[in-house]
Amino acid sequence: MAVIDFGGVKEEVVMRREFPLRRARRVLKDEVIAVLGYGVQGPAQSLNLKDNGFRVVVGQARQFRRDWDRAVRDGWKPGKDLFDLEEAAERGTVVMMLVSDAAQMAIWPRIRRHLDPGDALYFSHGFSIVFRDRTGVIPPGDVDVIMVAPKGSGSSVRRNFLSGAGINASFAVYQDATGHARERCLAIGIGIGSGYLFPTTFEKEVYSDLTGERGVLMGALAGIMEAQYEILRRHGHSPSEAFNETVEELTQSLIRLVDENGMDWMFSNCSATAQRGALDWKPRFKNAVMPVFRALYSSVKSGKEAERVIKACGRKGYQQRLARELARMGDSEMLPAS
């Protein structure tokens, strides 16, 4: 493992030079990897593994025609390497649960029947295992239970793979029944295109992921952008001006500088006026949102967020309600649908 120094805090991570693709292929040479679900992460992870030379089959419920048809368009052939969920699980020695968290609860009793001693049960999110008292996903004791959680959407996992950049991912072993769970886990991480794997636990992954999604990555970002945009518009600024100062410059310029070389690099590439103002206002924003983040993390750790997700996503008509919520966002003046 490589040791990375984060400002004096040292962390051990796994990179391609420590665990090259040829080693991953050797570890999984006798495995059949069954990817269950062809929605968000399934397409990217299955295609990346296939392109990297692993034996992969895809499991997808036929009644979800959009996902089934997408798999066919991507080159998976029914009866050869595309099957319904249970048949794919039966064929696999590594069963990758990449359906949604709500769907994992629904299909688990059927999938569990097809897990043989020595198989590996794989997740890209620790939700079902950490909140197993609510989800009912309790693996048998004779299988490995592992996780690789890419830090990006499925489209980013695939796009970065095709560009050769790779994507960061966390990894964890929940249950090591074979004595080889960690090696299998890392091999899959390399196989799906991760170039930087850092260790975690199922619990820490869930707590950080749910906090991040509701916070900086999605919820907080969307809320802060809406607030600034509305203030500018109320004070007579045009939609173009409000949009560019809120969205365009952030997404097309400044965040790219952060990605390139850090927050200080972005600040140093802005005007003295911008630097001074941002440095002065940063503490005020931090102090303002800190209570919100404390409440958010507490809600995540207590399981309240999990309960809300399970209840909402399992409710009849949820997909229609979700579509309406996203449509309102897409129809907004700030971010109109293209």
Per-residue pLDDT tens for 246-256?
Answer: 999 999 999 99
Contact between 206 and 126 under an 8 Å Cβ cutoff? The reply is: yes
Contacts of 186 (CB under 8 A, 6+ apart): 14, 19, 24, 27, 171, 197
pLDDT (tens digit, 9 = 90+) per residue, 16-42? 999 999 999 999 999 999 999 999 899
Catalytic residue among 125, 180, 235, 237: 125
pLDDT at 6 over 80: no
Tell the residue number behind the tokens 């950049």, with chain if given.
165
Phi/psi of residue 53, nearest 5 degrees:
95, 15
Contact 70, 60 (CB under 8 A): no
The verdict on pTM exceeding 0.85 is: yes
Residue 336 has a pLDDT of 60
pLDDT at 4 over 70: yes
Percent of the chain with pLDDT over 70: 99
Q: pLDDT per residue over 108-136, tens digit each?
A: 999 999 999 999 999 999 999 999 999 99
C-alpha–C-alpha distance, residues 321 and 151, integer Å: 27
Looking at residue 330, its pLDDT comes to 85
As a whole number of angstroms, the distance between CA 148 and CA 98 comes to: 11
Among the residue ranges 143-152, 204-213, 257-266, 315-324, the one predicted with the least confidence is 315-324
Phi, psi (degrees; rounded to nearest 5) at 15: -125, 170
* 268-280 pLDDT tens trace: 999 999 999 999 9
pLDDT in tens, 161-213: 999 988 999 999 999 999 999 999 999 999 999 989 999 999 999 999 999 99
Per-residue pLDDT band for 48 (boundaries 50, 70, 90) equals very high
Residue 314 has pLDDT above 80, yes or no: no
Whether 235 sits among the annotated catalytic residues: the reply is no
8 Å CB contact between 10 and 3:
yes
* Residue 271 token pair: 């005007």
- Residue length of the chain: 338
Lowest mean pLDDT among 6-15, 26-35, 80-89, 143-152: 6-15
Average pLDDT of every residue of the chain: 94
3-state secondary structure of 52: coil
Using pLDDT thresholds of 50, 70 and 90, give the confidence band for residue 287.
very high
